[in-house]
Structure 1
C-alpha cells in the first residue's frame, strides 16, 4: 500500500524487501512503473544514500531500534522519516528522542495512530507513525575534483 501511494504521488521509490515471495510480487506489480525499484535485501545491510533522502516505511518491528539508529547515525543524509511501528515504541521514542548521537540533530513526534485491524495479518499491538525530522541543516557535501 505504501509503495502504491508513493508512486501514485510521483515519488521515486526504492522498495527494500527481504522475503523472496514478496519481492517477486512487488516486482510483478510495479514492473511497468519506472519510478519504483524493488531490491531483495535485509534492511540492516542497506547502505544509505550519500545524497539527501526521505524514508516512508513499515519495517519489521523487531528491527525498529536498529533502523532508527542507522537512519540517524553521524554522516546520515536523512531529511525525514515516517516509520510505521509499534505504538509503544513510537510513543517512547517521541518522548525520549532518537537513541545515540543523533539526538541533537533529529526531532521525533507521533503523527498518526493505526489500529491493529488495519493490517493483514494484524500485528500483536496497535501501530503509530513516528516522524523523525532533521533539526540541523545538512553539512555541505564535498565534491570530487574532475578527473580529466
Structure 2
C-alpha cells in the first residue's frame, strides 16, 4: 500500500469544516442523502423531499434549512488522500449514505465573508454561509468567533 502521508507539520490542524466545535449540548441527527450528490462536511443541509431525507444546497424539491453536515468517523472515504479538509480521507457524504446533521449546537463552518462574534448567520443563493442578511436566508444561529475574511468560524445553531 502506498504511503498516504510522508511529511508532518509541527502542529495539528486546529479545526475543519463540519467538526463539532466543543462538548456543550448539541443535537446531531441522522438523515439519508437523497440523489446522486455529495454533501460536504460543514455545508448547509436542506430537508429532503422524502421522509428522513436531506441534501446539499440546490437539492431538487428541498423543504428548507435542516442544519449543518458534520463529520462522522463512520463515513466511507471519498478522498483517498489525507489533508486538513478531508479528515481520515473523507470530505463528504454521498447519495444514499447516512449523514450526520447538526441542528443545534456549535459547529465549525467555512464562511464566505468576515464575520464577528454575535453576528446572525445566513446562507446565500449559492449556499455560502455569511452574516449578510440582505436577500439571504436565516439559519437561526449566531457566530461565536470572528474572522478577518473568508475562512473557518464557529457557528452555534439554536
Q: TM-score normalized by structure 1?
A: 0.27
Which structure's CA Rg is the greater one? 1
Q: By percentage of residues, which structure has more helix? A: 1
Q: By percentage of residues, which structure has more strand? A: 2
Larger RCO (CA under 8 A, 6+ residues apart): 2
